């Protein structure tokens, strides 16, 4: 990156730069929080088979946060740190609820929140951004979107396999479902991770010729 960016508000051919910067700042905030959350869970989880997965994914999220920092614009009164924030207070509340399950019997609930609620929403938000990005003006952003999307899909798959291995009783399944339902509503009520335009409300199906 050369550090020179057009002023926010100038249209880039895809999203307006101000909107693109807002989303990328939210992405960086989410990825940074996931690094912290999964890293803490990796230390406290009693299941030895889960620890390496959480550690690897935490490191990936830290790297993603750095990739998004490199894409954030810099101007006289604009800094990457200033742009790095959650979309709204509802998302702050969601992350507070995400980390509530505590104790040796709650790992499955933790993973359900991260891998069945949050990661699918991240994949949807990144996919929505990729769909409207300009191949002419947004080349670096598109490269980062494709890279993090690949990582998130792989992480989602690994997390789902771990969840299925951990859910061994009816009560565990019911507890996980209750936690998932609460988090699903909280993130919906907040308007999506980065705004209602990334929640799928405008979904019309795949483009012609796409799977």
Domains of the chain: 28-198 (1.20.1260)
- Going by pLDDT thresholds of 50, 70 and 90, the confidence category of residue 197 is low
- Terminal-to-terminal C-alpha distance of the chain: 33
CA angle 20, 30, 47 (to 5 degrees): 150
- Angle made by CA atoms 202, 206, 208, in degrees to the nearest 5: 125
DSSP category for residue 16: B
* pLDDT digit string, tens, across residues 119-158: 999 999 999 999 988 888 889 999 999 999 999 999 999 9
Whether 41 has a pLDDT exceeding 90, the answer reads yes
Please say if the pLDDT value at position 200 is more than 90: no
Asked whether the predicted pLDDT for residue 1 surpasses 60, the reply is no
Residue 45: both structure tokens together? 């989880």
Alpha helices in the chain (DSSP H): 17-44, 51-71, 80-83, 89-98, 107-111, 119-132, 139-166, 170-189
Pick from 29-43, 104-118, 133-147, 154-168: least confident: 133-147
pLDDT greater at residue 203 or residue 188: 188
For the segment 45-93, what is each residue's pLDDT rounded down to a tens digit?
Answer: 999 999 999 999 999 999 999 999 999 988 767 788 889 999 999 999 9
- Using alpha carbons, select from 77, 70, 82, 93 the residue that is nearest to residue 22: 82
């Amino acid at each position: 990156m050369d550090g020179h960016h057009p002023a926010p508000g100038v249209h880039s051919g895809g999203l307006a730069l101000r909107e693109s910067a807002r989303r990328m700042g939210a992405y960086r905030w989410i990825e940074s929080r996931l690094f912290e959350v999964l890293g803490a869970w990796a230390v406290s989880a009693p299941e030895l088979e889960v620890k390496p997965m959480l550690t690897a994914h935490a490191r990936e999220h830290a790297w993603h946060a750095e990739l998004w920092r490199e894409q954030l614009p810099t101007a006289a009164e604009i800094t990457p740190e200033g742009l790095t924030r959650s979309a709204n207070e509802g998302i702050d509340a969601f992350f507070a609820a995400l980390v509530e399950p505590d104790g040796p019997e709650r790992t499955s609930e933790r993973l359900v929140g991260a891998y069945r609620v949050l990661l699918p929403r991240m994949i949807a938000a990144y996919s929505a951004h990729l769909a409207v990005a300009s191949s002419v003006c947004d080349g670096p952003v598109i490269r980062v979107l494709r890279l993090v999307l690949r990582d998130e899909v792989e992480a989602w798959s690994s997390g789902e396999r771990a969840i299925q291995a951990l859910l061994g009783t009816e009560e565990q399944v019911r507890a996980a479902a209750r936690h998932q339902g609460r988090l699903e509503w909280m993130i919906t009520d907040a308007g999506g991770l980065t705004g209602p335009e990334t929640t799928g409300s405008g979904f019309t199906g795949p483009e012609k010729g796409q799977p």
